[in-house]
């Protein structure tokens, strides 16, 4: 029991010498470049959401643990609730109202994680399940990303962001819709969202990409955020916290799909750089899909799992109703994990594969 | 082929096995069975499809609950009346025909008197025919008991089902729209417009509660709540009456 609670690392169980708490903390530190980039490009809202989500997560976890009569202090200090809150905060729009963060976090911690038995027993990625609950419940608020700060008409200070999150209005009395107006008075959405809407209006890719929203590669701001998450993810790989299979499979399969799309229908699909460096692609590949509890546990299985996520992200982005499909892709893949694990069971050392043994 | 002991409701056999069954009119036990102990929605988990699909508001839930209740009472009564003339081989089809004719009557009544509710419940009114709670009671209880008991069982099972329906509908309506009894006039007539309660005002509806996943989650919490209460009662009985707890312990153990 103590082994389980203190050492929660993904297989293979090579000794990293890290406790769960240290692991979770390293993952949390690795998200910092991404968080910093989000704050730089999308304002202080991200930081407020992070604080709000983490504190809600800790409170919710403590309440459930006391109901379940489990050791509160020890379980809270493993950092998993903190990380769930942080990951959820990074996925929701920076200026979403405070109750969105609270509902999502409470659902993620209580229903998705603790009702299934707590740390290590959850079938689904708590942060993503919480995100999906929010997305299908409050579709408007959850897609209300502000355009990057440099395109904003009304620049925002920390106090403005704080007021916007908790009251819905900034210090000067602007609400979210007014804030979304860019310099030239056009309401802005995220690049993926914008692309989808314009495409329904039958614009071609080249025409759509002329908007200042897109910048050079993945959309202004979004490119840098993705690169920052990539940086953090590479650090995690270097430290051996995650293994290469899932990120490589996610990015690789998404890239292959994007290339196929460009070849077949260049004017209806996203360019490759846009596929890989916009939305939450890098965040998902390194921080969401690699969750040790809900991901596949065999090396072969991880590749299948990652490829499934990558392909599903592309399918949902192109044909789905939502602009980005990472949360849905991850949850669908979580459902397949028992099956994937069953068929990719590694052969015990010294034994032969069944097929070879037969021949 | 199958004898009675095979098709009998196993839960029915297990509870109250300290008293002889059906020798006298035991209305207290039948009521308790239907409303709580053997509640069709919470314990038998029958008829989940309409239960989960239409409980997005109290009005819808109440409408379907009443329709089911009505069908359950008369079908139980009819099945019990004809049980001696229906041979075992064809009993299921006869039961289905009985139920289907009553559902048709209810459907026509709702079409005539509560037209808007009829539209909003849609396919789920004809689907009452396939509600396992009804065919289950016909098979497990009404076909083996006298008419009076069968009718009471239908009433209590239907009531238990309807109460859970309305309860779930209330939870989902409050969470989803912040109202209660919205649209009750569709079912009860114009005076019921005054019933509408606005618990709180929402700018954005909490869609999860209104969508089907909310029904599953809400249902899970209600079942958990019932089990929690049952456990508490069992604990209290075990601690307060050590002498009696011996017989109780045997019952729960068999269960």
**Residue A94 predicted with pLDDT over 90:** no
Q: Is the pLDDT of residue B247 over 60?
A: no
Q: Which long-range contacts (CB under 8 A, 24 or more apart) does A114-120 make?
A: A114/A61, A114/A64, A114/A65, A114/A68, A118/A65, A118/A68, A118/A70, A118/A75, A119/A5, A119/A8, A119/A20, A119/A75, A119/A78, A119/A80, A119/A293, A120/A4, A120/A8, A120/A293
Per-residue pLDDT, B136:
87
Residue finishing a domain among A150, A170, A188: A188
| Residue A175 sits at the chain B interface (C-beta within 8 Å) | no
A320 and A171 within one domain: no
B217 touches chain A (CB under 8 A): yes
Give the residue, A17 or A127, on which the prediction is more confident: A127
Window A:86-145, CB contacts with B under 8 Å = 103, 111, 133, 136-141
Q: What would the two tokens of residue A160 be?
A: 């403005």
Alpha helices of chain A — where are they, by DSSP H? 2-6, 20-30, 32-42, 45-67, 72-76, 80-91, 98-106, 126-137, 139-142, 158-167, 176-179, 191-200, 205-208, 222-239, 245-264, 272-277, 281-283, 299-319, 326-343, 354-358
Q: Which domain holds residue A29?
A: 1-188
Provide Rg for chain A, Cα atoms.
21
Residues A176 and A310 in one domain: no
Q: What pLDDT is stored for residue B14 in this prediction?
A: 42
Residues A22, A165, single domain; the answer is yes
A292 and A197 within one domain: yes
Same domain, A220 and A257: yes
A251 shares its domain with A276: yes
Nearest residue of A to residue B209 by CA position? A137
Whether residue A81 is found in the same domain as residue A36? yes
- Smallest Cα distance from A134 to chain B, Å: 8
pLDDT the model gives residue A218: 57
Q: Quick check: is A357 in a domain? A: no
How close B252 comes to chain A (CA, Å)?
A: 23
Residues A92 and A324: their CA atoms lie apart, in Å, by 12
Check residues B186 and A182 and name the one with the higher pLDDT: B186
Alpha-carbon distance values, A233 to A247, B127, B202 (Å): 9, 52, 40
Closest CB to B206: pick one of A111, A137, A140: A137
B217/A111 CB distance under 8 A: yes
**B90-145: per-residue pLDDT in tens?**
888 999 999 999 999 999 998 998 888 888 888 888 888 888 888 888 888 888 88
Higher pLDDT, B250 or A42: A42
- Please answer yes or no on whether A138 and B211 come within 8 Å at the CB atom: no
Q: Is residue B6 over pLDDT 70? A: no
For residues A305 and A313, give the distance between their C-alpha atoms in angstroms, rounded to a whole number: 12
Domain assignment present for residue A359? The answer is no
**For residue B50, which of B37, B36, B31, B66 has the smallest C-alpha distance?**
B66
Domain-embedded: residue A353: no
Q: Is it the case that residue A150 has pLDDT exceeding 70?
A: no
CA gyration radius, chain B: 20
CA-nearest residue to A134 within chain B is B208
Decide which of A188, A215, A243 is a domain's last residue: A188
Mutate: best of B207, B214, B220, B231, partner A, most A CBs <10 A: B207
* Residues of chain A with C-beta less than 8 angstroms from the C-beta of B205: 137
* Residue A199 in this model has a pLDDT that exceeds 90: no
CB-CB under 8 Å, B217 with A136: no
Rounded Cα distance, A40 and A150, in Å? 10
**A322 and A239 in one domain?**
yes
- Is residue A349 domain-resident? no
Same domain, A171 and A234: no
Q: For residue B70, what are the CA distances in angstroms to B128, B151, B161, B169?
A: 11, 10, 12, 19
pLDDT of residue B13: 44
Q: What pLDDT is stored for residue B11 in this prediction? A: 47
**Residue A3 — pLDDT band, cuts 50, 70, 90?**
very low
d(CA A205, CA B236): 69
Residue written as token pair 């045997």: B250
CB contact under 8 A, A133 and B208: yes
The 3-state DSSP class for residue A190 equals coil
Count up the domains in chain A and report the number. 2
Residue B107 and residue B59: Cα distance in Å, rounded?
Answer: 16
Contacts of A140 in chain B (CB under 8 A): 204
Residue among A146, A293, A287, A147 nearest A220 (CA): A147
Residues A153 and A16 in one domain: yes
Query: What is the band of B255 on the pLDDT scale with cuts at 50, 70, 90?
Result: very low
Share of chain A above pLDDT 90, in %: 33
Q: Which residue has the higher pLDDT, A247 or A181?
A: A247
Tell me if A50 is assigned to some domain: yes
- Measured CA to CA, the distance from residue A199 to residue A8 in angstroms comes to 45
Task: Judge whether B202 is closer than 8 Å to chain A, CB to CB.
Answer: no
Residue B223 pLDDT level (bands cut at 50, 70, 90): very high
Answer yes or no: do A170 and A222 share one domain. Answer: no
Lowest mean pLDDT among A204-208, A220-224, B41-45, B220-224: A204-208
Please check whether residues A184 and A234 belong to one and the same domain. no
Helix axes A32-42, A20-30, angle to 10 degrees: 30
Q: A195: distance to nearest CA of chain B, Å?
A: 25
Chain B residues whose beta carbon lies within 8 Å of the beta carbon of residue A116: none
* Mean pLDDT lowest among A2-11, A244-253, B178-187: A2-11
Cβ separation of A136 and B211 shorter than 8 Å? Answer: yes
For A290-320, the pLDDT digits (tens) are 988 888 888 899 999 999 999 999 999 888 8
Assess B207–A contact: CB distance below 8 Å, yes or no.
yes
């Amino acid at each position: 029991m103590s082994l389980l609670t203190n050492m929660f690392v993904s297989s293979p169980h090579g000794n990293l010498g890290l406790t769960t708490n240290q692991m979770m903390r390293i993952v949390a530190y690795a998200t910092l470049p991404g968080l910093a980039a989000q704050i730089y490009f999308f304002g202080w809202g991200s930081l407020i959401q992070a604080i709000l989500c983490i504190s809600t997560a800790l409170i919710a976890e403590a309440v459930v643990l006391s109901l379940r009569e489990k050791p509160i202090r020890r379980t809270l200090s493993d950092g998993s609730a903190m990380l769930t809150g942080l990951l959820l905060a990074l996925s929701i729009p920076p200026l979403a109202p405070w109750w969105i963060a609270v509902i999502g976090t409470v659902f993620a911690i209580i229903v998705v994680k603790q009702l299934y038995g707590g740390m290590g027993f959850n079938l689904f990625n708590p942060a993503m399940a919480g995100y999906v609950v929010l997305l299908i419940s409050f579709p408007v608020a959850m897609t209300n990303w502000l355009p990057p700060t440099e395109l904003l008409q009304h620049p925002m200070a920390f106090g403005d962001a704080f007021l916007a999150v908790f009251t819905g209005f900034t210090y000067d009395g602007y609400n979210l819709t007014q804030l979304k107006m860019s310099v030239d008075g056009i309401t802005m959405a995220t690049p993926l969202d914008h692309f989808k809407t314009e495409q329904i209006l039958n614009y071609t890719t080249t025409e759509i990409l002329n908007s200042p929203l897109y910048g050079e590669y993945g959309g202004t701001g979004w490119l840098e955020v993705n690169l920052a998450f990539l940086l953090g993810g590479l650090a995690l790989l270097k430290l051996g916290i995650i293994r290469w299979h899932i990120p490589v499979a996610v990015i690789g399969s998404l890239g292959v799909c994007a290339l196929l799309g460009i070849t077949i229908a260049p004017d209806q699909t996203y360019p490759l750089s846009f596929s890989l460096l916009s939305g939450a692609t890098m965040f998902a590949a390194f921080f969401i899909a690699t969750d040790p509890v809900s991901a596949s546990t065999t090396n072969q299985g991880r590749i299948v799992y990652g490829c499934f996520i990558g392909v599903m992200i592309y399918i949902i982005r192109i044909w789905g109703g939502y602009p980005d499909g990472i949360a849905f892709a991850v949850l669908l893949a979580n459902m397949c994990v028992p099956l994937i694990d069953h068929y990719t069971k590694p052969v015990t050392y010294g034994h032969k594969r069944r097929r070879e043994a037969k021949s | 082929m199958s004898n009675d002991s095979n098709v009998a409701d196993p839960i029915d056999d297990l509870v109250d096995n300290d008293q002889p069954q059906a020798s006298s009119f035991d209305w207290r036990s039948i009521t308790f069975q239907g409303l709580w102990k053997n509640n069709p929605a919470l314990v038998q988990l029958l008829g989940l499809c309409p239960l989960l699909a239409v409980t997005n508001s109290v009005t819808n839930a109440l409408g379907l609950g009443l329709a089911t209740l009505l069908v359950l009472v008369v079908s139980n009564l009819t099945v019990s009346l004809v049980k001696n003339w229906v041979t075992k081989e064809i009993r299921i089809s006869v039961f289905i025909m009985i139920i289907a004719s009553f559902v048709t009557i209810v459907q026509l009544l709702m079409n005539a008197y509560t037209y808007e509710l009829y539209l909003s419940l849609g396919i789920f009114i004809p689907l009452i025919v396939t509600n396992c709670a009804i065919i289950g009671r016909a098979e497990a209880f009404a076909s083996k008991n006298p008419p009076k008991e069968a009718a009471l069982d239908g009433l209590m099972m239907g009531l238990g089902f309807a109460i859970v329906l309305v309860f779930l509908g209330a939870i989902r309506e409050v969470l989803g729209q912040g109202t209660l009894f919205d649209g009750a006039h569709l079912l009860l007539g114009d005076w019921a417009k005054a019933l509408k309660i606005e618990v709180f005002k929402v700018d954005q509806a909490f869609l999860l509660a209104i969508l089907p996943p909310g029904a599953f989650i809400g249902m899970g919490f209600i079942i958990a709540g019932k089990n929690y209460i049952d456990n508490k009662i069992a604990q209290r009985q075990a601690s307060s009456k050590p002498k009696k707890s011996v017989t109780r312990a045997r019952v729960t153990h068999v269960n």
